[in-house]
Amino acid sequence: MRYAIRGAALLAMMLVAGARQLRAQTVRYGVMGDSVTALLRAAWTDDSTQSERAYCVQRARISSRPTLGGGIDSIFRVLAVRPATPTSQDPNHVQFECATGTPELHTHTPATCLTDDASSCRADGPLAYSCQPSRSDYEELLARGDEYGIIQCDRRAFRFYYPSEYAAQPHKARTAVGANSSGP
Protein backbone atom coordinates (compact mmCIF):
# COMPACT_ATOMS: atom_id res chain seq x y z
CA MET A 1 0.00 0.00 0.00
CA ARG A 2 2.81 2.36 0.94
CA TYR A 3 4.48 1.76 -2.46
CA ALA A 4 1.21 2.43 -4.28
CA ILE A 5 0.85 5.82 -2.54
CA ARG A 6 4.47 6.71 -3.31
CA GLY A 7 3.97 5.61 -6.92
CA ALA A 8 0.81 7.70 -7.25
CA ALA A 9 2.58 10.73 -5.72
CA LEU A 10 5.52 10.28 -8.12
CA LEU A 11 3.15 9.98 -11.09
CA ALA A 12 1.29 13.14 -10.01
CA MET A 13 4.57 15.06 -9.72
CA MET A 14 5.63 13.89 -13.18
CA LEU A 15 2.31 14.97 -14.68
CA VAL A 16 2.52 18.42 -13.06
CA ALA A 17 6.13 18.83 -14.21
CA GLY A 18 5.15 17.65 -17.69
CA ALA A 19 2.26 20.11 -17.84
CA ARG A 20 4.63 22.93 -16.86
CA GLN A 21 6.96 21.87 -19.65
CA LEU A 22 4.08 21.76 -22.15
CA ARG A 23 2.91 25.22 -21.12
CA ALA A 24 6.08 26.69 -22.58
CA GLN A 25 5.28 25.24 -25.99
CA THR A 26 3.33 27.55 -28.27
CA VAL A 27 3.23 26.92 -32.00
CA ARG A 28 2.51 29.54 -34.65
CA TYR A 29 1.83 28.61 -38.26
CA GLY A 30 1.89 31.12 -41.12
CA VAL A 31 -0.13 30.36 -44.23
CA MET A 32 -0.40 32.45 -47.40
CA GLY A 33 -3.73 32.34 -49.25
CA ASP A 34 -3.70 31.13 -52.86
CA SER A 35 -4.55 34.53 -54.38
CA VAL A 36 -1.84 36.25 -52.30
CA THR A 37 0.71 33.63 -53.29
CA ALA A 38 -0.22 34.04 -56.98
CA LEU A 39 0.09 37.85 -56.77
CA LEU A 40 3.50 37.74 -55.07
CA ARG A 41 4.83 34.97 -57.31
CA ALA A 42 3.90 37.02 -60.38
CA ALA A 43 5.71 40.10 -58.99
CA TRP A 44 8.88 38.14 -58.13
CA THR A 45 11.91 38.58 -60.35
CA ASP A 46 15.34 36.93 -60.34
CA ASP A 47 17.02 40.24 -61.25
CA SER A 48 20.05 40.58 -58.95
CA THR A 49 19.95 44.40 -59.03
CA GLN A 50 16.33 44.83 -57.89
CA SER A 51 15.34 46.61 -54.71
CA GLU A 52 13.37 44.95 -51.96
CA ARG A 53 9.59 45.36 -52.29
CA ALA A 54 7.03 46.16 -49.58
CA TYR A 55 3.43 45.15 -48.91
CA CYS A 56 0.84 45.66 -46.19
CA VAL A 57 -1.43 42.81 -45.12
CA GLN A 58 -4.99 43.87 -45.97
CA ARG A 59 -6.88 40.88 -44.66
CA ALA A 60 -5.89 37.99 -42.43
CA ARG A 61 -7.62 35.39 -40.32
CA ILE A 62 -6.12 34.22 -37.06
CA SER A 63 -7.29 30.94 -35.55
CA SER A 64 -6.16 30.00 -32.07
CA ARG A 65 -6.61 26.78 -30.15
CA PRO A 66 -5.66 26.03 -26.54
CA THR A 67 -3.23 23.17 -26.05
CA LEU A 68 -3.25 20.46 -23.41
CA GLY A 69 -0.52 22.14 -21.35
CA GLY A 70 -2.13 25.57 -21.29
CA GLY A 71 -0.39 27.15 -24.31
CA ILE A 72 -2.13 28.50 -27.37
CA ASP A 73 -1.36 27.38 -30.93
CA SER A 74 -2.20 29.88 -33.67
CA ILE A 75 -2.61 29.80 -37.43
CA PHE A 76 -2.11 33.12 -39.24
CA ARG A 77 -3.79 33.01 -42.68
CA VAL A 78 -2.98 35.96 -44.96
CA LEU A 79 -5.84 36.44 -47.41
CA ALA A 80 -4.98 39.78 -49.07
CA VAL A 81 -2.02 42.17 -49.37
CA ARG A 82 -1.50 45.49 -51.14
CA PRO A 83 1.74 47.13 -52.30
CA ALA A 84 3.10 49.71 -49.86
CA THR A 85 4.77 52.97 -50.86
CA PRO A 86 8.43 52.85 -49.84
CA THR A 87 10.09 55.91 -48.31
CA SER A 88 13.49 54.45 -49.22
CA GLN A 89 14.54 51.25 -50.88
CA ASP A 90 17.62 49.50 -52.22
CA PRO A 91 18.76 45.89 -52.76
CA ASN A 92 19.43 45.39 -49.03
CA HIS A 93 16.39 46.98 -47.42
CA VAL A 94 13.11 48.75 -47.88
CA GLN A 95 11.65 51.36 -45.55
CA PHE A 96 7.86 51.69 -45.56
CA GLU A 97 4.94 52.15 -43.24
CA CYS A 98 1.68 50.24 -42.93
CA ALA A 99 -1.22 51.42 -40.78
CA THR A 100 -0.91 50.71 -37.07
CA GLY A 101 -1.81 47.09 -36.32
CA THR A 102 -1.33 46.06 -39.96
CA PRO A 103 1.41 43.44 -40.39
CA GLU A 104 4.13 44.10 -42.94
CA LEU A 105 5.53 41.89 -45.69
CA HIS A 106 8.73 42.60 -47.59
CA THR A 107 10.98 40.74 -50.00
CA HIS A 108 14.59 39.64 -49.68
CA THR A 109 16.31 39.64 -53.06
CA PRO A 110 17.95 36.68 -54.86
CA ALA A 111 21.37 38.33 -54.68
CA THR A 112 24.35 39.05 -52.47
CA CYS A 113 25.15 42.77 -52.33
CA LEU A 114 28.37 44.19 -50.89
CA THR A 115 26.80 47.65 -50.43
CA ASP A 116 23.41 49.31 -50.88
CA ASP A 117 24.41 50.14 -54.47
CA ALA A 118 22.78 47.78 -56.99
CA SER A 119 26.01 47.60 -59.02
CA SER A 120 27.62 45.67 -56.12
CA CYS A 121 24.97 42.92 -56.29
CA ARG A 122 25.59 39.49 -57.77
CA ALA A 123 23.11 36.70 -58.38
CA ASP A 124 23.23 33.95 -55.77
CA GLY A 125 26.00 34.06 -53.16
CA PRO A 126 25.75 33.51 -49.41
CA LEU A 127 23.05 36.13 -48.77
CA ALA A 128 20.82 35.35 -51.74
CA TYR A 129 17.30 34.11 -50.99
CA SER A 130 17.80 34.76 -47.26
CA CYS A 131 14.70 33.93 -45.24
CA GLN A 132 16.25 35.07 -41.97
CA PRO A 133 14.79 38.30 -40.59
CA SER A 134 17.46 40.89 -39.88
CA ARG A 135 17.89 42.55 -36.52
CA SER A 136 16.18 45.64 -37.92
CA ASP A 137 13.27 43.47 -39.16
CA TYR A 138 12.72 42.19 -35.60
CA GLU A 139 13.20 45.59 -34.01
CA GLU A 140 10.65 47.12 -36.39
CA LEU A 141 8.20 44.31 -35.59
CA LEU A 142 8.57 44.93 -31.86
CA ALA A 143 8.38 48.72 -32.17
CA ARG A 144 5.18 48.50 -34.23
CA GLY A 145 3.60 45.91 -31.93
CA ASP A 146 2.59 43.65 -34.83
CA GLU A 147 1.71 40.00 -34.17
CA TYR A 148 3.89 38.85 -37.06
CA GLY A 149 5.89 39.96 -40.09
CA ILE A 150 6.50 38.12 -43.36
CA ILE A 151 9.48 37.84 -45.70
CA GLN A 152 9.19 36.58 -49.27
CA CYS A 153 12.61 35.11 -50.04
CA ASP A 154 11.95 33.24 -53.28
CA ARG A 155 9.15 32.98 -55.79
CA ARG A 156 7.39 30.35 -53.64
CA ALA A 157 8.99 30.79 -50.19
CA PHE A 158 7.52 32.87 -47.38
CA ARG A 159 8.83 33.14 -43.83
CA PHE A 160 6.60 34.35 -41.01
CA TYR A 161 8.43 35.74 -37.99
CA TYR A 162 7.08 36.62 -34.56
CA PRO A 163 8.05 38.91 -31.66
CA SER A 164 8.71 35.91 -29.41
CA GLU A 165 11.58 34.84 -31.69
CA TYR A 166 13.56 37.95 -30.85
CA ALA A 167 14.74 38.62 -27.34
CA ALA A 168 17.69 40.89 -26.87
CA GLN A 169 20.14 39.02 -24.70
CA PRO A 170 22.06 40.98 -22.06
CA HIS A 171 25.65 41.62 -23.11
CA LYS A 172 27.97 39.23 -21.36
CA ALA A 173 31.72 39.79 -21.24
CA ARG A 174 33.65 36.87 -22.65
CA THR A 175 36.94 35.70 -21.27
CA ALA A 176 39.49 33.90 -23.36
CA VAL A 177 40.63 30.49 -22.24
CA GLY A 178 43.44 28.64 -23.95
CA ALA A 179 47.09 28.83 -24.92
CA ASN A 180 47.11 32.59 -25.62
CA SER A 181 45.08 33.68 -22.61
CA SER A 182 46.58 35.33 -19.58
CA GLY A 183 44.27 33.48 -17.20
CA PRO A 184 45.31 31.00 -14.49
pLDDT at res. 178: 52
Q: Is there a domain that residue 2 lies in?
A: no
pLDDT given at position 109: 87
pTM, to two decimals: 0.74
The domain in which residue 129 lies consists of 26-165
What's the mean pLDDT when you consider all of the chain?
Answer: 82
Domains of the chain: total: 1
By the 8 A CB rule, do 64 and 19 touch?
no
Quick one: average pLDDT of 98-106? 95
At residue 17, does pLDDT exceed 60? no
Q: Judge whether 138 lies within some domain.
A: yes
Residue 119 resides in a domain: yes
Residue 133 lies in a domain: yes
For residue 31, what are the contacts with CB-CB under 8 A and spacing of at least 6?
A: 75, 76, 77, 78
d(CA 116, CA 92): 6
Whether 15 is in a domain gets the answer: no
Q: Is residue 158, in this structure, part of any structural domain at all?
A: yes
**What percent of the chain has a predicted confidence (pLDDT) above 70?**
77
In a domain, 139, yes or no: yes
Q: Over range 103-119, report the average pLDDT.
A: 88
